[in-house]
Amino acid sequence: MYLKDGYSLLLKHRKPSSLPLVLATRPLNPPPSSASLLHESHVAHALRREPNVLYALQHFQYLTNTLAFKHTPLTYHVMIEKLGRNSELDALHYILHQMKIERIPCSQDSFICVLNSYKNSGLGDRALKMFYRIKEFGCKPTVKIYNHLLDALLGESGNKFHMIGAVYENMRGEGMEPNVFTYNVLLKALCKNGKLDGACKLLVEMSKRGCVPDGVSYTTVVAAMCEDGRVEEAREVARRFGAEGVVSVCNALICGLCREGRVGEVFGLMDEMVGNGVDPNVVSYSSVISWLSDVGEVELALAVLGKMIRRGCRPNVHTFSSLMKGYFLGGRVGEGVGLWRVMVLEGVRPNVVVYNTLLNGLCCSGNLAEAVDVCGRMEKDCFCRPNVTTYSTLVHGFVKAGDLQGASEVWNKMVNCGVRPNVVVYTSMVDVLCKNSMFDQAYRLIDNMATDGCPPTVVTFNTFIKGLCCGGRVLWAMRVVDQMQRYGCLPDTRTYNELLDGLFSVNELKEACELIRELEERKVELNLVTYNTVMYGFSSHGKEEWVLQVLGRMLVNGVKPDAITVNVVIYAYSKLGKVRTAIQFLDRITAGKELCPDIIAHTSLLWGICNSLGIEEAIVYLNKMLNKGIFPNIATWDVLVRGFFKKLGHMGPIRILDDILGKG
């Protein structure tokens, strides 16, 4: 299959353009001839209502250049707010510089907008540098500004926890008393960094200093303790501080109990809430419904929904999304789609999460045409545009179906809509290209990932290596393993598992053995899949003795066998004629109730019994199987019939088999 014209986008994507440094001067609306007719409120309103941040900035600069209006603190604030919301930091610096030149002081709210823009961009350290320059812009530090600075430091992905203490001390040194917001940021910092005991002490200190903790304070600590698996301690903290009547605290406890599967206590807690005069809200019910749906208890989740509605609590989009997910996980696609229609009829506006849940359910069930139609509706919805997860879900659906053309069309649509592909989408495209034997294109796509600022991960390489091995290109796969480090990736156990499977499949037994020896020398941890792959590979090449040696090494290393292991080992014992040992091994596995060997293992054993002990022993073992509720399949009967023919000739087995079946 080849890509049609227009699929050149498959190997590249458009990078989002930033605002130009030299701005054009296009006004939103032509200004009146007299500058005196332009009022502050008119300009501020025009800037606010312009959805395109570039056009708003062009208009702002146009007014400056034509001297039609002298900007005020209000119009500067509107522009700072708009640029900050869109993370246009370079343009934000330009506006601050203009304010400085025009000697217009930056207000507290405007400076907070600047700090928040750094926080939203994950640049807490730059927020701190900007804070040090606060006086340059005619603004003075306040408790509120300090609070937002602390929050920016905490909100950064790098988590500048070590800076928070110094900033807090600096704030106290300037004679500013922390308020409840300050303490809540400090509590969040302590909890985020695992210092839960310190957070509990800070709750006590707040009260001593006359700053009464609020619902956010208690919820922050209780939620963190629940996430850390300390649910009982969290309940004790809630009791000690009298926070049992705070609905958000109760919701945190509900989530903690759900996470531990303590469903009975969840319902008990909700009854306690009602008894204490606290009505469970939509978050309370939705948390329970979400957990029940995740564990497959959809009927119970529906019962909770019924109780929720009877108590006058209206379900929201998260409630419906959780239930739909439960239906789709259980393969009940029709009911999931039906619930979507109920949600729309109830006037609940779908968000991108519920749209993506619907798409995932449709794609998993193979309803790709309907999924594409839903995505099309999203693209026309001004309030809920598709995001990268939307397109990723669609691409994965087409990849699962092996449909390169469908996956490519979704990719191109995503790029044309300005949505930047992430590593998940890239990896899916690598997968579908490999499935269509387009290995050169897949390799170029991986190379482009690094160039486009989305470096491939080990999962990407494992997908490519698996595709190469399945396509018989094992030598190329081995070269790729050597090249991974160039992209900042190191091979993991799955990488070697795919490579071993590929080597065995092309009969490269010597190379496979060398790779196994190399892994052992480098002390690479081998998992169950590795051992199963090696044992199956040895078995396929008639090396049954080696299979048993690998089994011994596997058990010594503490790796527990699974059904695949049992099947390979039973076959190896049977091929070697060690049928009694195979029977003992199977009986021991079954007696321990750790595993329930499938019909494949029993069929292999019956084949060994027929060859080594005779058909009579095979019939005895067949009866044991039937007594245990293990029923033969067509392959099992085929083994037995061949055993009869081998022993008795062409006529005898038919009569004996009829006799056995007649007795059954």
Q: List the one residue out of 223, 220, 227 whose CA is nearest residue 206.
A: 220
Please indicate, yes or no, if residue 620 is contained in any of the structural domains.
yes
Please indicate, yes or no, if residue 652 is contained in any of the structural domains.
yes
**Contact status, residue 513 vs residue 550, Cβ threshold 8 Å:** no
- Alpha-carbon distance 174 to 136, whole Å? 18
**Contact status, residue 597 vs residue 563, Cβ threshold 8 Å:** yes
Please indicate, yes or no, if residue 626 is contained in any of the structural domains.
yes
Question: What amino acid is encoded at 347 in this protein?
Answer: G
**In this predicted structure, what is the pLDDT of residue 54?**
87
Q: Which residues contact 398 (CB under 8 A, 6 or more apart)?
A: 368, 404, 406, 407, 410, 432
**Contact status, residue 225 vs residue 234, Cβ threshold 8 Å:** yes
Q: List the one residue out of 170, 491, 312, 398 whose CA is nearest residue 464.
A: 491
Q: List the one residue out of 121, 126, 179 whose CA is nearest residue 149.
A: 126
- Alpha-carbon distance 471 to 347, whole Å? 51
**In this predicted structure, what is the pLDDT of residue 437?**
93
- Alpha-carbon distance 466 to 473, whole Å? 10
Q: What is the tally of helices (H) and strands (E) in the chain?
A: 36, 0
- Alpha-carbon distance 659 to 643, whole Å? 16
Please indicate, yes or no, if residue 352 is contained in any of the structural domains.
no
- Alpha-carbon distance 63 to 27, whole Å? 8
DSSP for 14-65 reads: PPPPPPPSS-----SSPPPSSGGG--HHHHHHHHHH-S-HHHHHHHHHHHHH
Q: Which residues contact 281 (CB under 8 A, 6 or more apart)?
A: 247, 251, 313
**Contact status, residue 82 vs residue 47, Cβ threshold 8 Å:** yes
Q: Which residues contact 194 (CB under 8 A, 6 or more apart)?
A: 228
Please indicate, yes or no, if residue 284 is contained in any of the structural domains.
no
CA 414 to chain centre: 20
**In this predicted structure, what is the pLDDT of residue 3?**
35
Please indicate, yes or no, if residue 657 is contained in any of the structural domains.
yes
- Alpha-carbon distance 577 to 609, whole Å? 8
**In this predicted structure, what is the pLDDT of residue 537?**
94
Q: List the one residue out of 103, 102, 78 whose CA is nearest residue 92.
A: 78
**In this predicted structure, what is the pLDDT of residue 156?**
53
Looking at residue 594, what DSSP letter applies?
A: S
Q: Is 210 exposed, middle or buried (0-12, 13-18, 19+ CB in 10 A)?
A: exposed
Domain that holds residue 622: 591-663
- Sign (positive or negative) of CA dihedral 296, 302, 305, 310: negative
- Alpha-carbon distance 46 to 481, whole Å? 57
What is the count of structural domains for the chain?
Answer: 1
Low-confidence spans in the chain with pLDDT less than 70: 1-37, 156-160, 592-594, 648-664
**In this predicted structure, what is the pLDDT of residue 66?**
79
Please indicate, yes or no, if residue 656 is contained in any of the structural domains.
yes
- Alpha-carbon distance 275 to 267, whole Å? 12
- Alpha-carbon distance 636 to 608, whole Å? 12
Please tell me the pTM assigned to this model: 0.71
Task: Say how many C-beta atoms besides its own lie within 10 A of residue 545's C-beta.
Answer: 11
DSSP for 453-467 reads: T----HHHHHHHHHH
Please indicate, yes or no, if residue 55 is contained in any of the structural domains.
no
Task: Say how many C-beta atoms besides its own lie within 10 A of residue 42's C-beta.
Answer: 15
